[in-house]
Chains A and B, each alone.
Chain A
Amino acid sequence: MPRALRALRRGITAVVLVGLVLAPSAVDDYTVALLARTLALGLVAVSVALLTGVAGLPTLGQTAPYAAGAYASVVVGGQLSDVGLVHLGVAAAAGAALAAATVPLVVSARGVVVLMITLAVGELVVTIVGRWRSVTGGTDGLAGIPPVRPLWGLPVLATDRARYLYALVVVAVLVGVVLLVLRTRVGLLLRAGRDDEARLRASGHRVALHVAGVHVAAGAVAGAAGSLLVVAQQYVSPADFGFDTSALLLLAVVIGGTWSVGGALIGAAIVIASRDWLFGVLPGQAPLVLGLAFVATVYLLPGAGHRPPAVRGRLLPPALTRRPVPDRPSPTGVRA
Chain B
Amino acid sequence: MTPLLSAHGVTVRYGSLAALDGVDLRLELGQRHALIGPNGAGKTTLLDVLGGRTRPAAGRVRLAGRDVTRLGPAARARRGVNRIHQRPAGWPTLTVRENVLVAALPRAAPTRRWWPGGARRAAARTTGAMLERVGLAGLGGTLAGHLAHGQRRQLEIAMALAGRPRVLLLDEPAAGLSAVEVEWLVEFLRVLPRSVAVLLVEHRLDLVYALSDTVTVLRDGRTLATGTPAEIRAAEPVRQAYAEGVA
Q: A interface vs B, CB < 8 Å?
A: 184-186, 188-189, 191-192, 194-196, 199-207, 309-310, 323-326, 328-335
Which B residues are CB-close (under 8 A) to A309? 93
CA distance A204 to B159 in the complex (A): 12
Task: Find A192's partner among B78, B94, B117, B187 (CB 8 Å cutoff).
Answer: B94
Additional A-B contacts beyond A201-B72, A204-B107 (5; CB < 8 A): A203-B74, A205-B74, A206-B74, A323-B146, A325-B147
Task: Find A330's partner among B73, B82, B85, B150 (CB 8 Å cutoff).
Answer: B150
The answer to whether B106 and A186 touch across the interface, beta carbons within 8 angstroms, is no
CA distance A32 to B130 in the complex (A): 55
The answer to whether B115 and A334 touch across the interface, beta carbons within 8 angstroms, is no
Q: B interface vs A, CB < 8 Å?
A: 51, 53, 72-75, 77-78, 82-83, 85, 89-94, 98-99, 101-103, 105-107, 111, 114-117, 119-120, 134-135, 139, 142-143, 146-148, 150-151, 153-154, 159, 163, 178, 180-181, 184, 187
The answer to whether A330 and B180 touch across the interface, beta carbons within 8 angstroms, is yes
The answer to whether A310 and B72 touch across the interface, beta carbons within 8 angstroms, is no
The answer to whether B114 and A186 touch across the interface, beta carbons within 8 angstroms, is yes
Task: Find B139's partner among A188, A328, A332 (CB 8 Å cutoff).
Answer: A328
12 sampled A-B residue pairs with Cβ under 8 A: A188-B94, A192-B94, A192-B99, A192-B102, A199-B90, A202-B73, A204-B77, A206-B74, A331-B150, A331-B151, A331-B154, A332-B180
Q: Which of A202, A206, A324, A325 has the largest count of B CB atoms less than 10 A from its CB?
A: A202
Which A residues are CB-close (under 8 A) to B114? 185-186
The answer to whether B101 and A188 touch across the interface, beta carbons within 8 angstroms, is yes
Q: Which of A196, A309, A326, A331 has the largest count of B CB atoms less than 10 A from its CB?
A: A331
Which B residues are CB-close (under 8 A) to A189? 102, 105
Q: A323-B146, A325-B148, A334-B154 are in contact. Are A191 and B93 (CB under 8 A)?
A: yes
Task: Find B94's partner among A185, A191, A202, A323 (CB 8 Å cutoff).
Answer: A191
Q: What DSSP secondary structure best describes chain B's contact surface? A: helix
Q: Which of B74, B101, B154, B178 has the largest count of A CB atoms less than 10 A from its CB?
A: B74
Q: A185-B120, A335-B184 are in contact. Are A205 and B106 (CB under 8 A)?
A: yes
CA distance A115 to B32 in the complex (A): 47
Task: Find A203's partner among B98, B147, B159 (CB 8 Å cutoff).
Answer: B159
Shortest Cβ distance from B147 into chain A, in angstroms? Answer: 8
Shortest Cβ distance from A329 into chain B, in angstroms? Answer: 5
The answer to whether A330 and B119 touch across the interface, beta carbons within 8 angstroms, is no
Q: A329-B148, A331-B181, A334-B134 are in contact. Are A202 and B51 (CB under 8 A)?
A: yes
Which A residues are CB-close (under 8 A) to B143? 323
Which A residues are CB-close (under 8 A) to B89? 196, 199
Which B residues are CB-close (under 8 A) to A191? 91, 93-94, 98
